[in-house]
Structure 1
Amino acid sequence: MEGQTAPARGSSLKCKLDPGFQGQNNHQNVLVIGNHMSKDVLASTKPCSNHWDYEVFLSFRGADTRKNFIDHLYFALVRTGIRTFCDDYELPRGENISKELINGIHGSRISLVIFSKDYASSSWCLDELVQILHCKRTMNHIFIPIFYHVNPSDMRKQVGTFAETFTRLEEKFQEDMERVQRWRAAFTEAADCSGFDLQSDANGYEASFIGKIVEQVLYKLNPIHLNVVKHPVGLDFHVEELKTLLQLGTSTTTKLLIVGMYGMGGIGKTTLAKAVYNHICDGFEGSSCLLNVREVSEQSNGLIQLQEQLLFDILKVKILLIGNVDKGISLIKQRLHRKRVLVVLDDVDRLDQIYALARNGEWFFGPGSRVIITTRDEHLLVKLGVNYSYKVENMNHLDSLELFSWHAFNMPHPEEDFREISIAAVDYAGGLPLGLEVLGSDLRERSIIKWKTTLEKFRKSPNAQIQKIVGISFESLDHTIREVFLDIACFFTGANIEYVLKILEECGFFPDIAINILIQRSLVKIDYPNLRMHDLIGDMGKEIVRQESRHPGKRSRLWSHEDVLKVLKNHTGSEVVEGLSLNPPISEDHVISLESKAFANMKNLRLLQIKGVKNLKLKGCVEHLSKELRWICWHSCPLRFLPPRLHLENLVVLDMQYSTIKQVWKLENNVLSKLKVLNLSFCEDLTKSPNFLQVPNLEELILEGCTGLVELHDSIGYLKGLVLLNLNGCSSLMSLPKSISNLKSLKIFHMGRCFNIQNFVDRTTIIVPNRSWNPRNFLRASLHVFRSLVKLGLSNSNLLEDDFPIDFGGLSLLQDLDLSVNNFRDLPHSICHLPKLARLNLAESRSIRSISTLPANLRILFAFGCESLERMSISESRLDALVLADCYKLVDIQGFENLAFTIAVSLEGCLEQEDDIDFVKSLLKLQVGLGGGSKIPYGQEMTNGEEIEVSFEFECSQALEYVGVNECGVHLIIQREEEAGSMVMYSEKKKKMMEDDMMQDTPVTKQTRHRPHNRPMVWEYDGIVPFVSYIERNTSTFALLHSLGWLFMSYSK
Structure 2
Amino acid sequence: MGGIGKTTLAEVVYMEVRNTFESCCFLQDVREKIEKKGKESVRNEFLSILLKEKEIRIDTPFIRERLNNIRVIVVLDDVNDPEQVDRMGVKDFGDGSKIILTSRDRQVLKNGGATQIHKVEELNPKYSLQLFSITAFKQLNPSVDFLYLSYEFVWLAHGSPLALKILGAKLYSKSIEEWKSEVEKISMHDMLEEMGKDIVDQESKYPEERKRLWNPKDVYQVLNNNKGTVRTEGINFGMYQVDNSQLSPTCFENMSNLRYVKSEVTWSWTEKPPTNGVDIDIVYLPNELRYLEWSYYPFKSLPLNFNPKNLVVLKLQDGNMEQLWNEDFQDLVNLREIDVSFSKKLRKIPNLLGAINLKSLDCSWCESSVEISELPNMLHYLNLSFTRIEKVPDSIEHLETLDLSCCPIAKFSKTPRNLRELRMTECNSLKSLSELPPDLMYLNANDCMSLESVSFTDRTFHSFGGESDLFMVFSNCFSLNQDSIDNIEANAMLNIQSLSEKWASRYYKEFSPDPLPKLICCFLGNKISANRFENHSMNSSLNLKIAPSGRSGSRVLVFAICLVADLTDSGRIEDLEFICEYQLVAASGSDGGFGEYKSELFCEAKHWTNGIFMGDHAYILCGKDMVREDKNYEEASFQFCIKHSTFNEEEYIEVKKCGVDVIYVDAERCTITDVMRCDKSNHNFNSQEDANTEEPHHHSATETSTRRSKRHRITETRTRRSNRHRVTGDWNLEIHLLLYYI
TM-score (ref. length: structure 1) = 0.31
Larger Rg: 1
Structure with the higher helix share, 1 or 2? 1
TM-score (ref. length: structure 2) = 0.42
Structure with the higher strand share, 1 or 2? 2
The structure with higher relative contact order (CA 8 Å, sep 6+) is: 2
